[in-house]
Amino acid sequence: MKVAVVGATGLVGTKMLQVLEERNFPVSELLPVASERSVGKEVLYKGKPYKVVSMEDAIAAKPALALFSAGGSTSLEWAPKFAEAGITVVDNSSAWRMDPTKPLVVPEVNADALTATDKIIANPNCSTIQMVVALNPLHKKYGIKRIVVSTYQSVTGTGKKAVDQLMGERAKAVAGAQDEYPMAYKYPIDLNVIPQIDVFLDNGYTKEEMKMVNETKKIMRDESIRVTSTTVRIPVMGGHSESINIEFEKDFDLAEVKELLRTSPGVTLVDDPANGGYPMPMDAHEKDDVFVGRLRRDESNPNTLNLWCVSDNLRKGAATNAVQIAEYLAAQGLLG
Ligand code: 2RA
């Protein structure tokens, strides 16, 4: 299958190439696409160099599939052009996520939302993906009434500039390095915590917070789930962490909850606090699963659970989820 990766030189695009390779996706020809200034540069796939091509050349080559990670405005402009040419787009930006005509998919939760007529498919926000993978099995069994989530998000979610800021600040603090580094954030990130991800909206929440509210309801197909979120950037690289408080309709047995999570696809239970067993971004880094631990009853409220959830935001939160959507489309004969 001919596959285009749009935004192939960015952090998520590079991870998409890595995940396609690792999972042995049947790529017969790869078309890496990036901004005009990168056209002609090379990216490596399965040890072979591939020249970056323009959007126009990628469309003319008629791939069956295009994985997009090039930002919202690029996606708004170009995804429809790919779709009109019959190319199925899986888009990692926020551009199409809340469009009622476009499916928003986490394969463990709602792969059945995908049909052969969907030409633009939205990949959800990283912090939403890991939460719904962990919570959907519990929702099916106990019925979620309300979610209160606070996130601790890796700088890799912002992109390479933020990684360079963090490492630049650290080098300066530790070794007095004089090298210039870019500022991805308004404030220092090393030795700091920034309670803002994306821009503020009129209701006082950030866009990232409202993504968690709105995308969760769409993916889990339940508008009645109440969600409130606080999203925070921390000086970490391996993945996003979330403290989640979940109130259910029905009461639950904690041992049963653990067993349910232990046997759910895409979830790894790490819950052995007596021996220091709980998920951390260091351990989730470069893994595809969503790691869940610190399971305990919220003793202040009936039918309510607390859990801690960690996942590599560039993998399950972006590239792996997109490739899993493509794998499902291919397996069901829904491509091309
Ligand atoms: C972040 N959610 O971590 C974003 C990335 N899509 O900033």
Could you give the percent of the chain with pLDDT greater than 70?
A: 100
Average pLDDT of span 234-251: 98
Whether residue 133 sits in one domain with residue 120:
no
Q: Is 309 a catalytic residue?
A: no
Whether residue 274 sits in one domain with residue 144:
yes
Specify the ligand 1 atom closest to the Cα of 92.
6
Annotated binding site: 9-12, 37-38, 97, 153, 233, 313
Nearest CA-CA partner of 31 in 46, 18, 43: 43
Q: For ligand 1, atom 5, which residue shows the shortest CA distance?
A: 157
Residue 17 lies in a domain: yes
* Res 306 pLDDT > 80: yes
Q: For ligand 1, atom 1, which residue shows the shortest CA distance?
A: 157
Rounded to two decimals, the ipTM of the complex is 0.97
Residue 306 lies in a domain: yes
Q: Is 126 a catalytic residue?
A: yes
Condensed to tens digits (0 to 9), the pLDDT of residues 186-228 reads: 999 999 999 999 999 999 999 999 999 999 999 999 999 999 9
Nearest CA-CA partner of 131 in 197, 71, 220: 220
Whether residue 248 sits in one domain with residue 197:
yes
Average pLDDT of span 247-269: 98
* Res 244 pLDDT > 90: yes
Q: Amino acid identity, residue 133?
A: V
Specify the ligand 1 atom closest to the Cα of 208.
2
Average pLDDT, the chain: 98
CA dihedral 166, 170, 176, 179 (to 10 degrees): -30
Whether residue 220 sits in one domain with residue 275:
yes
Place 270 in a pLDDT band, splitting at 50, 70 and 90.
very high
Place 267 in a pLDDT band, splitting at 50, 70 and 90.
very high
Residue 295 lies in a domain: yes
Is the torsion defined by CA of 297, 315, 192, 150 positive or negative? Answer: negative
Annotated binding site for substrate: 153, 233
CA 201 to chain centre: 22
List, chain by chain if needed, residues with CB within 6 Å of any ligand 1 atom.
Answer: 125-127, 153, 157-158, 197, 208, 313
* DSSP code at position 335: -
- The total domain count for the chain is 2
Q: Please, what is the Cα angle at 161 between 155 and 162, to 5 degrees?
A: 25
Whether residue 45 sits in one domain with residue 17:
yes
Whether residue 164 sits in one domain with residue 197:
yes
Mutate to test the pocket of ligand 1, among 125, 236, 237 (most ligand atoms within 8 A of CB): 125
Q: How far is the CA of 153 from the centre of ligand 1 (A)?
A: 8
Could you give the percent of the chain with pLDDT greater than 90?
A: 99
Q: What is the CATH number of the domain that holds 186?
A: 3.30.360.10
Cα-based distances in Å from 297 to 80, 148, 245, 310? 47, 14, 9, 19
* Res 93 pLDDT > 90: yes
Residue 162 lies in a domain: yes
CA dihedral 258, 264, 267, 273 (to 10 degrees): 10
Place 336 in a pLDDT band, splitting at 50, 70 and 90.
confident
Nearest CA-CA partner of 148 in 245, 18, 66: 245
Whether residue 267 sits in one domain with residue 132:
yes
CA dist., res. 286 & res. 316, Å (int) = 9
Average pLDDT of span 149-178: 97
Average pLDDT of span 134-161: 98
Residue 163 lies in a domain: yes
- Tell me which of 126, 139, 285, 309 is the catalytic residue: 126
Whether residue 243 sits in one domain with residue 118:
no
* Contact (Cβ atoms closer than 8 angstroms) between residue 69 and residue 93: yes
Q: How far is the CA of 197 from the centre of ligand 1 (A)?
A: 7
Q: Amino acid identity, residue 195?
A: P
Q: What is the CATH number of the domain that holds 36?
A: 3.40.50.720
Whether residue 145 sits in one domain with residue 94:
no
Annotated binding site for NADP(+): 9-12, 37-38, 313
Residue 336 lies in a domain: no
Q: How far is the CA of 160 from the centre of ligand 1 (A)?
A: 12
Whether residue 39 sits in one domain with residue 68:
yes
**Sheet of 240-248: strands edge to edge?**
226-230, 144-152, 240-248, 304-311, 290-297, 267-269
Mutate to test the pocket of ligand 1, among 126, 212, 234, 236 (most ligand atoms within 8 A of CB): 126
Q: Please, what is the Cα angle at 78 between 74 and 84, to 5 degrees?
A: 165
Nearest CA-CA partner of 148 in 233, 230, 217: 230
176's tokens: 């007095």
* Backbone φ and ψ of 21, nearest 5°: -65, -50
CA dist., res. 147 & res. 257, Å (int) = 16
Q: For ligand 1, atom 7, which residue shows the shortest CA distance?
A: 157
Whether residue 132 sits in one domain with residue 72:
no
* Res 304 pLDDT > 90: yes
Residue 175 lies in a domain: yes
CA dist., res. 83 & res. 165, Å (int) = 36
Mutate to test the pocket of ligand 1, among 161, 197, 206 (most ligand atoms within 8 A of CB): 197
Whether residue 117 sits in one domain with residue 139:
no
Residue 230 lies in a domain: yes
Q: End-to-end alpha-carbon separation of the chain, Å?
A: 10
Q: How far is the CA of 241 from the centre of ligand 1 (A)?
A: 12
* Contact (Cβ atoms closer than 8 angstroms) between residue 311 and residue 242: no
Structural domain including 142 reads: 128-313
Q: How far is the CA of 130 from the centre of ligand 1 (A)?
A: 12
